[in-house]
Chain A
C-alpha cells in the first residue's frame, strides 16, 4: 500500500466514524422516543446540537487542563478509529492490535477525567470516580471476552480475527462459535456505553450529569462528538469480534446498527443501578458466562 493511500485511509476512517456515529446517536434518541411513544428528534438533530455548541459565544474554561481534556477526549477516539478495520480500509490496524485498541479507547475518558478534575466541581469529580469504578466493573468481563476471542483466533491482530470469521460464512462467526462470550460481550458493551441502567456517572438528578456539569459550549460539543465516536467504536468492535466484520459497507453498517439497537432498546426501560450493584452485576453474570465461554475455547 502506498503512503498516499494510507494517508487517505487515515483521514477517511475517523471521518466515516463521525458521520456514522452521528447517525447512531440519532438512532439512540429515536429508539428512546419510540419507547416513550414520542416522535423524537429530526434527522439532523445531532448535527444541529454539535454546530450550535461549537458556535456558542461563551466558552467557559476553568484552565488549560480543562481545554486539553476535551482535546484528548476527541483526539483519543480519532486515533482509535485508525486501528479499527472497516470494509476496504485497514488503516494501521496491524501495527497495534486489539490490546492497543482497548487501551487507546481508555485515553479519551482519562483525558476527560483530567479536564473534569480542573473544573473544581465535586459533582464532576464524583462523576469521574464513578465512571472509573464503572470501567473497573465492565472491563473485567470485556477483557475475558477479548482474551477468549484472541486466543481462539490465535492472534491479537483484528484483521486476522475478521479474516478467520469470514472464512466460512455464518458458521465461523465469533457469535456462532462462541455464543457465551458473545452474550458476555454484549452485556459488557452495554455497560461501557454508560446508558441506563448503568449510567451511574451521569446521574442527572443526583450529581448533575457528573463529568459534564461544568461543560458548556464547545466543551460540551466536544463531548457530543466523543459520544458519536464512542457509539461507533463500541459497536464496530463488537461486530469485528463476533459478527465477522463486514464484507461490504451495507452489511457492515447493518450489523453495527443492529448490535447497537439491542442495548439501546433495553436501556430506556430501566432506572439506574447503584454503584455497588453495578459492580456486583458485572462481576457476577458476564464474568461467569465469559469464563465458561473461555473454558469452551480451550476445549
Chain B
C-alpha cells in the first residue's frame, strides 16, 4: 500500500503524540516534540500544491461503520487551517522548551501532561480538518473537544472549573450537531458530502432553518459566538502560557472551519440567504452577521474591564472571531477573503501576545495589570513583540490585522450595510482602547521597585516571539502571500475570489496597496525622526524626576494610573449589560435543575396509575398531532 502525503502527515502527528506520551518526562522531550512539529510542518508543506492550486489529497485509510463509509482527505481549506494549527503548535512548543519548562516543573506543573495534551490537540485537529464526510467530521469534532478539555484542565483549580464549563458547553454543542446529522441522514440516507448537498437542495425551509440553527449553534459554541461565549475567556486564559498561545491562536477557529465546510460549502450562502426570519425584514445570513457583530462588540468591551492580561487577551480572542464570521457570511470577494485572512492574522498576533504576556509572567510572577508597569526598560524586546501584536490586534497599519479588517470593512461598504459596518468599527475602537490599557499597564508608566532587577526573557522564549512578530509585519507589508492560499480556499468553498496583488487588493471602487502605505508611513517616520533628532540632544532623567504639582516623589509611593483605566467611559457604559449573559446561563442551569428535580419527584412517587395516565395522554397527543 502506498502512503499518500496525508497519511504521512497524520502518521507524523501520531508519532509526535506517542513520543510525548512515552518519553514526555525527560527535559529534552520538549525539544524532540518541537522538532517533530517541524517535521509535521514539512510534511504539510509537501502538500503545498493544495494551498496554491487547490485539489484534494485523500488518505488511504477508509472505514465502514454501519454502512457509512468514513474517509479522510485534505483540500485547500483543510490545508490552510492545518498550516495555522501546526505553525502555532510548533512555535508554542518551541516557546515552552528550556527556561519556561523548567520554571513550570519547579512550580509543580506536569510537563508530560502538557506536551501530551498539546500533541493530542494537534493530532485531533488534523483529523478533524481532514474529515471527508459528515460522520468523520462529527468524530473529529468530539475528539477535538475532549483534547481541548485536557489542555484546559491541566492547571487544576480555576482552570479545571473553566474547563468543566467548557466541556458542558461543548457537549451541548455536540448534541446539537448530532441532532443535525440525524436530520440530514433521515433526509438523504447518507452522510457523504455530495449526497448532503443534493439533499439540502430539496429540503423545506423549516427543516433547513432547524439545520442552520443546530449546526450554527453547535459549531458556534466552539467559536465562542454569542450567547455561547462565556466559557472561552477563562478557559483559555488559565491554561499554562504556551498552551493558551496555541489555544488562542487556533482552537476556536475549528468552529469556523466547520461552519465554512457545512454552512458555506454544503448549504451555500445563497441558500442561507433565502431563509427569512418570520415577521422581520432579515434573513438567516443577516442573523448570523448580527450574531457576529455582537460577538465582536460585547466581548471586546468586556476585555476592556479585565485586570488580568491573559483574560484581557482571551476576551479579545472571542471578539476577533466575530470579524471572521462576519467576513465569511457577507460572502462577497472582499468579505470572504477578509474573514479567512483574519483567521491567519489573528493566529499570528494572538500567539505572539500570549507569549509576550507569558514572558512577563515568567519574569515577574504576575499578570495582574495593577501590579506591573514600566517594564519597557527591563524587557524591551518583549515590549516590541507586544507592541507589534497589539497593533495587529487593533487592526492598524502597518501590521497584518489592518489588511483583513480593511477587507471586511470594504465588503460591508460595497454591500451597503451601514449598521454592520458601524458595529465592526466600534469593535475596532474598543480594541484600541483595551490594548492600550494592556501595553500601558505592563510596559509603560512607573517601574516598580520590586521589578528593578528584572531582565529580558531568555532566548528560548524570545526567538519564537520574534519569528511571530516578523510574520505579523511581513504579511502586513505583503498580504498577497496569504491571500494566494486564501484564493484557493475561497474557490474550494465556492465563494468569489478577490483580485489580489502582492501588496493588497485591486478594485475599481478603491484598492489597497500596503507596500505603498507602509513605505510612505515609514518615510514619514523618517522625516519626523530627522526633524526630531536634529534639534538639541536630549537628556534622560529618572522616572521620579517628574511633575507632581510640586510634590517630592519617592520610590515607595506609587505614581501610576492603572486601575479603572477608562473611568469616564465605564461611568457611562459600565452598567449597560453587566452580567446579563451570566444571568442567562444561571437561569438555564437552574431551569435544568428544577426540571430534573421534578422528574426525580415523579419517579419517586411510584404510582402506577399516574404513569399510565401520563403515558396515555402523551399517546393521545401524539395521535392527534
The answer to whether B541 has its CB under 8 Å from any CB of chain A is: yes
Provide 5 A-B residue pairs closer than 8 Å at the C-beta atoms, listed in order of the A residue.
Answer: A78-B524, A117-B444, A125-B440, A157-B511, A160-B510
**Which residue of the partner chain, among A97, A139, A155, A222, contacts B429 with CB atoms under 8 Å?**
A139
**Which residue of the partner chain, among B374, B418, B528, B573, contacts A144 with CB atoms under 8 Å?**
B418
Stretch at the interface among A39-47, A98-106, A238-246, A254-262: A98-106
Q: Are B543 and A275 in contact (CB under 8 A)?
A: no
**Which residue of the partner chain, among B396, B539, B572, contacts A58 with CB atoms under 8 Å?**
B539
Q: Are A82 and B397 in contact (CB under 8 A)?
A: no
Size bracket, chain A contacts: 35 or more
> 5 smallest A-B Cβ distances: which pairs?
A275-B568, A117-B444, A79-B524, A75-B528, A156-B510
Contacts of B440 in A (CB 8 A): 113, 117, 125, 128
Residue of A nearest to B412 (CB): A147
Return A205 CB to nearest CB of chain B, in Å.
12
Contacts of A155 in B (CB 8 A): 508-510
Residue of B nearest to A275 (CB): B568
Contacts of B561 in A (CB 8 A): 122, 125-126, 129
The answer to whether A265 has its CB under 8 Å from any CB of chain B is: no
Contacts of A129 in B (CB 8 A): 437, 561, 565-568
Contacts of B512 in A (CB 8 A): 95-97, 100
The answer to whether B52 has its CB under 8 Å from any CB of chain A is: no
**Which residue of the partner chain, among B376, B416, B567, contacts A118 with CB atoms under 8 Å?**
B376
The answer to whether A247 has its CB under 8 Å from any CB of chain B is: no
The answer to whether B149 has its CB under 8 Å from any CB of chain A is: no
The answer to whether B1 has its CB under 8 Å from any CB of chain A is: no
Which positions in B face A, CB cutoff 8 Å? 374, 376-377, 380, 383, 387, 396-397, 402, 406, 409-410, 413, 416, 418, 421-422, 425-426, 429-430, 432-433, 436-437, 439-440, 443-447, 508-513, 516-517, 520-521, 523-529, 531-532, 535-541, 543, 545-549, 559-562, 565-569, 571-573
Q: Are A279 and B568 in contact (CB under 8 A)?
A: yes
The SS class assigned to the A binding surface is helix
Q: Are B429 and A77 in contact (CB under 8 A)?
A: no
Q: Are A140 and B396 in contact (CB under 8 A)?
A: no
Stretch at the interface among A59-67, A168-176, A189-197: A59-67
Q: Are B541 and A132 in contact (CB under 8 A)?
A: no
Q: A130 CA to B536 CA in the complex, in Å?
A: 31
Return A71 CB to nearest CB of chain B, in Å.
4
Q: A216 CA to B186 CA in the complex, in Å?
A: 75
The answer to whether A26 has its CB under 8 Å from any CB of chain B is: no
The answer to whether A34 has its CB under 8 Å from any CB of chain B is: no
Q: Are B396 and A103 in contact (CB under 8 A)?
A: yes
Return B550 CB to nearest CB of chain A, in Å.
11
Contacts of B437 in A (CB 8 A): 129
Q: A103 CA to B406 CA in the complex, in Å?
A: 10
Q: Are A107 and B413 in contact (CB under 8 A)?
A: no
Q: A213 CA to B549 CA in the complex, in Å?
A: 10
Interface residues in A126-181 by Cβ distance below 8 A to B read 126, 128-130, 132-133, 135-136, 139-140, 143-144, 147-148, 150-151, 154-157, 160
Contacts of B523 in A (CB 8 A): 10, 78-79
Q: Are A100 and B397 in contact (CB under 8 A)?
A: yes
Contacts of A160 in B (CB 8 A): 510
Contacts of A72 in B (CB 8 A): 525, 528
Return A101 CB to nearest CB of chain B, in Å.
10
Q: A94 CA to B512 CA in the complex, in Å?
A: 8
Q: A221 CA to B535 CA in the complex, in Å?
A: 10
Q: Are A114 and B444 in contact (CB under 8 A)?
A: yes
Q: Are A65 and B416 in contact (CB under 8 A)?
A: no
Interface centre among A58, A132, A140, A144 (most CB of B within 10 A): A132
Contacts of A103 in B (CB 8 A): 396-397, 402
Return A215 CB to nearest CB of chain B, in Å.
10
Q: A225 CA to B540 CA in the complex, in Å?
A: 23
